[in-house]
Structure formats: C-alpha cells, structure tokens
Amino acid sequence: MPVPLIQQVRVGAYVLRQKLRGNARYPLVLMLEPLFRCNLACAGCGKIDYPDPILNRRMSVQDCLDAAEECGAPIVSIPGGEPLLHKEIVEIVNGLVARKKFVYLCTNALLMEKRLDRFTPSPYLTFSVHLDGDREHHDRAVSQEGVFDRAVSAIRAARQRGFRVTINCTLFDYADPKNVAEFLSFACDELDVEGVTVAPGYAYERAPVQEHFMTRTRTKDFFRALFRLGSGRKWRFNQSSLYLDFLAGNQQYRCTPWGNPTRNIFGWQRPCYLLSEGYAPTFKALMEETDWDSYGTGNYEKCANCMVHCGYEPTAVIDTVAHPLKALKIALRGVDTEKPMVADIPLENQRPAEFVFEALTAQLKEAEAGPQKRSDAA
C-alpha cells in the first residue's frame, strides 16, 4: 500500500514549482501542534514539560487553518501533545482536508479507536501512530503497560475502515536491531500499514530520561545492522531512500530546519520542531529573520547528535530532486551497509548550548497575562 499517487504528484509538483520560482527555502511539511497536553508521559518526550496553564491552552480551528494557509506546505503533520485531546480536532482535520492538505494526524492511539467514527477515510488523511517497537519496547518507551495493545487494536480497526495508517517509530539506544526488524515485518505484513517512519530520538533537554538517546555513531551502526536484516523483506518506509542512506552513514547531510516549520500555541517556533529557542510572530518572519546558520550539526552543540527526519528528510528530498538516479539506485538496490561510512561533520567550531527554556516559559506566561488575544478553543 504505497503513498497514493495523488500525494506523490501534488508534492512533486509543489517542489518543482518552488524550484522554478528560484525559492531557496521553502516548507514541505507544516508541523502543527494545536496543544501540548498529552495523556501519556513518555520518558523521551520533550514536549510536555510546561506548567498547567500552558498545557491547558489550545490553538483555535481558525488559527490552525490560517497557519496552514500562511505556510503553504502541501503536507500538514499534527503532533502535540496528543491531538485527539483537542475538542475541535475533527474540525481542524476536516478544514485542512477541504483545503487539499495531506494531513498526518500523529497520535499515541489511546483514544483513536474510540474516536474513529468522527473521521472520514480520505486519501488526504493518515493516522500516524506512535509505536516504538514491539510490546515490550513500546510500553517501556511510553512508560505505561498496555499501550502497545491498544495502539495495535486501533490500527487494525482503522485499516478495516479504510483509513490510511502509518507508524512513527522512534528508536533509543536500548533498541535491538533484531527486535526492530521483527517489528517492521509485523507492521508491514500483519498490520498492513502504508509505511513506517524510523528515526533516532532527539535528545530533548527537557526529556525526563536523558541517558537513552543515540549518538550519531550508534545511530549509523544501528541502521546498518537493521538494513542488513531487511534484505529480502518487503518493508515499507514512509521516508525517502536517501534519508535511509543518511541514517546508515552514507551521506554527509546538513539539516534543513525550515523544511518542516513548526506552529504551536506560542507562534512559529525557531528554529525547528525539536529545538525551541524562541518564536516568530509570522511564518514570513520565521523564514526571513531566523539566523539559520547558527543551527545544525557542527554549528550548535544542541544539534551535535541530531539525525531526525524532520530536519534531514527535507535535505534528502532536495537531494532526490537534484539527483533522481542516485535516489532510484538506492530505492531499487537497497542501502549499502558495507562500504566505508562518509566522514561526519566536524564539531570543533560548534557554539555552546544556550539554555533558554525557563526564560522563554516565563516570557510566554507574561505575554499570556497581558492584553493579547488568546486562542483557547477547548
């Protein structure tokens, strides 16, 4: 069950249009976070460590639709928090679908099966279910037993009703390639999902457990081991072949943080979904006024180990458009797991990390108390 042709054509045409217009920076996927509240508290999560008044805030339906228009990306991913906790999530999704945006509703699936009736199957709507491996691994990653079984049940129900479903699998350093290989076969063969997104977890500074994030070296070794086990198995990844090649140490990529811009209750997040170092009031201001060169591996300490898809998939997509034959060769033959890895980006000149969370949260709370318009909806 590949990505529908309509999505491939529209996204391909969008990228070509941007190239013809000579746009050096353009978004591919809008990361829309309509709330930070979640019904889980995963050990590796860096999104939910806000005080209650902030966790209680929601973006309104209109704010969400305006953000999608303002940004113009053909794909809108809705993470959070848990978006199914937003009382108007159906209106948000329907509004985006009506605007022909390809929506990926990212959910931990605890509420998904119960809420399926409220949604309508469409080539424009995909449930992207957070599942970090088999029962043991996932329940450990989300710090709660029984979540894997509920997610699997919700996926089966959604597939039966004709919904598009993908799995978003974040890997930590205790992941075992053999287990992950079995999990990928289970997801593709038994759960019949459209594809799986795999990536190493980003070392969020606010994540409650810090010691399990993978380094770049560990990530590359892990993916080589995994892809060796994948030979002959028909895994479907919801990612470009060049991003997978990058994970296996065969590409020296720099990230493209503006490829997946983030809009949440505070505004447009600088510089990316993973790092929160300030906010821009408009998408235009985000694109034009962010000092992009001060971020990325080799430039900033907090970016040293990042290999996450939201930063590097856009780089891989741009490389695919520039070198389609290179990408096609990898798609057909698979990722080379034996050749020497390319050198990594040197870290000697990276600027030290700045710790801005407390000051930023205080600033945001202060702004909240001021006369500005709030966007609470639920």
Residues that bind ligand SF4 (CB under 6 A): 38, 40-42, 45, 47-48, 80-82, 108, 130, 142, 255, 257, 271-272, 274-275, 295-297, 303, 306, 308, 311
Under a CB-based contact definition with an 8 Å cutoff, are residues 205 and 137 in contact? no
Under a CB-based contact definition with an 8 Å cutoff, are residues 200 and 133 in contact? no
Helix 309-322 vs helix 5-20: crossing angle, to nearest 10: 70
Specify the residue, 230 or 257, whose C-beta has the smaller distance to ligand SF4: 257
- Least distance CB 275 / ligand SF4 (angstroms): 4
Specify the residue, 38 or 105, whose C-beta has the smaller distance to ligand SF4: 38
- Least distance CB 257 / ligand SF4 (angstroms): 4
Under a CB-based contact definition with an 8 Å cutoff, are residues 170 and 177 in contact? no
Distance CA 240, CA 329 (A): 12
CA dihedral for 183, 189, 193, 194, sign (positive or negative): positive
Q: Whose structure tokens read 């902030």?
A: 54
Specify the residue, 4 or 208, whose C-beta has the smaller distance to ligand SF4: 208
- Least distance CB 20 / ligand SF4 (angstroms): 26
Specify the residue, 108 or 219, whose C-beta has the smaller distance to ligand SF4: 108
- Least distance CB 229 / ligand SF4 (angstroms): 26
Specify the residue, 63 or 132, whose C-beta has the smaller distance to ligand SF4: 132
Distance CA 178, CA 170 (A): 15
- Least distance CB 303 / ligand SF4 (angstroms): 3
Specify the residue, 111 or 285, whose C-beta has the smaller distance to ligand SF4: 111
Under a CB-based contact definition with an 8 Å cutoff, are residues 198 and 237 in contact? yes
Specify the residue, 60 or 299, whose C-beta has the smaller distance to ligand SF4: 299
- Least distance CB 143 / ligand SF4 (angstroms): 8
- Least distance CB 305 / ligand SF4 (angstroms): 9
C-beta atoms surrounding 271 within 10 Å: 25
Helix 216-229 vs helix 177-185: crossing angle, to nearest 10: 50
Instruction: Please spell the DSSP secondary structure of 94-143, one letter per residue.
Output: HHHHHTT-EEEEEE-STTHHHHGGGS---TTEEEEEE--SSHHHHHHHTT
Distance CA 92, CA 81 (A): 15
- Least distance CB 200 / ligand SF4 (angstroms): 11
Specify the residue, 165 or 303, whose C-beta has the smaller distance to ligand SF4: 303
> What are the structure tokens assigned to 16, written together?
């070509």
> What are the structure tokens assigned to 7, written together?
């999505």
